[in-house]
Amino acid sequence: MTDALAITRDLIRCPSVTPADAGALGVLEALLKQAGFETHRVTFSEAGAADIDNLYARIGTEGPHITFAGHTDVVPPGDETAWSVGAFSGEVKDGYIHGRGAVDMKGGIACSVAAVIEYLRGNDGKPRTDGMGSISFLITGDEEDVSINGTVKLLKWATERGERFDHCVLGEPSNQEVMGDCIKIGRRGSQSGTLVVEGKQGHVAYPHRASNPVPDISRLIVALSDEPLDHGSAQFQPSNLEFTTVDVGNTAGNVIPGLARAKFNIRYNDCHTQESLRALVEERLAKACGNRIRARIDWLPSNSNVFLTKPGAFTDLAVAAIESVTGRKPELSTTGGTSDARFISSYCPVIEFGLVGQTMHQIDERASVADIATLTKIYRGILDRYFA
């Protein structure tokens, strides 16, 4: 096995279903220590959330400083009897390595570790002695769940120690169809809330004595959904508001309910801040309610803000490394859901580039052995160019 494939296998064999670590960080720490990194295991706690173990490792003391980020926690495997091989076997079969986390994102972490170790050895197999700058790893076990005791706190801890990051590569599975087709340079923000409409409970035979919130919440859902929030921006697709549930909590067929609720989520672009977005939706709600409907929005706290790494020297460097290995010039994309890049972007420019994400979170999640080799070469190319 190549180094990257062997590391991927060893990580998959740690059943680190969030928030469990199951030895995954230990695998990485041992490799990085052997390569000369100074390592730190840091555990964070907060009431109402699981304690999370994190790993920070760095080699070098000078700039420029590039960090590779990622998470070793994975989603549950689901029905393990439905897998063609063991969900945590790391078995190589038909050109793929199988197991939960192979794509999202133990394979990506393994490739970055293998590429860095190879880079530090130098082309002649001897340890580098030039003043190359610094390389670090920010690895958490808290990305697939609430993201409270992971990257956001690890970054704060590192900064308080005096760490400063110049650029970051996050190994999330960014490619859509084939290696080299996409780099994520930003993500839309995410904001959730609940629309609450107040009525008055009563008997269906005497509607004049009640106030039915069901027709009202239906009108408000249409009003808030129909009008676009914006028409997109230079780097982002349009924002969208999607209602996901409607609930009146009523089990009786002859009772008009007194309250109706509808949950929604907004994925918003850089036309808005979290504050301006909320103000816009509240304004539209007030207009739709008029003087008759009594409604409010209960907003949920959100740490998923919109971010963008503007195209420039760093993205050009990554594009050149990808194109030299794959022959493809990747699209600079801002599509998709949230990731820990939303936290990292407050500290330094960050791009997301990892494996092809087609099987992530699925039964029989798997990564191509060839893609793992390709990604390792790309990361090595990024390092060569970064420290040139």
Residues 55, 115: Cα–Cα separation, whole Å? 18
Helix (H), strand (E) counts: the chain: 9, 19
Burial of 115 (0-12, 13-18, 19+ CB in 10 A): buried
State the catalytic residue, choosing from 104, 143, 172, 365.
143
Confirm if 109 and 24 have CB atoms less than 8 A apart: no
Q: Distance between CA atoms of 164 and 319, rounded to whole angstroms?
A: 24
Active site residue 143: yes
Distance, first Cα to last Cα, the chain: 30
Contact 364, 80 (CB under 8 A): no
Residue the block writes with tokens 């409607």: 246
- Collapsing DSSP states into helix, strand and coil, what is residue 281? helix
Strand partners, 198: 259, 294
Instruction: Provide the token pair at 7.
Output: 């590391």
Which among 21, 29, 73, 270 is annotated as catalytic? 73
Question: Which residues, other chains included, contact 22 with Cβ-Cβ below 8 Å and sequence gap of 6+?
Answer: 14, 15, 16
Question: Quick check: 134 and 64 in contact, CB under 8 A?
Answer: yes
| Residue appearing with tokens 């087709």 | 181
Cβ contacts of 14 within 8 Å, gap of 6 or more: 21, 22, 23, 24, 27, 72, 88
Helices (H), 227-304: 274-289
Residue type, 86: G
Annotated catalytic residues are 73, 143
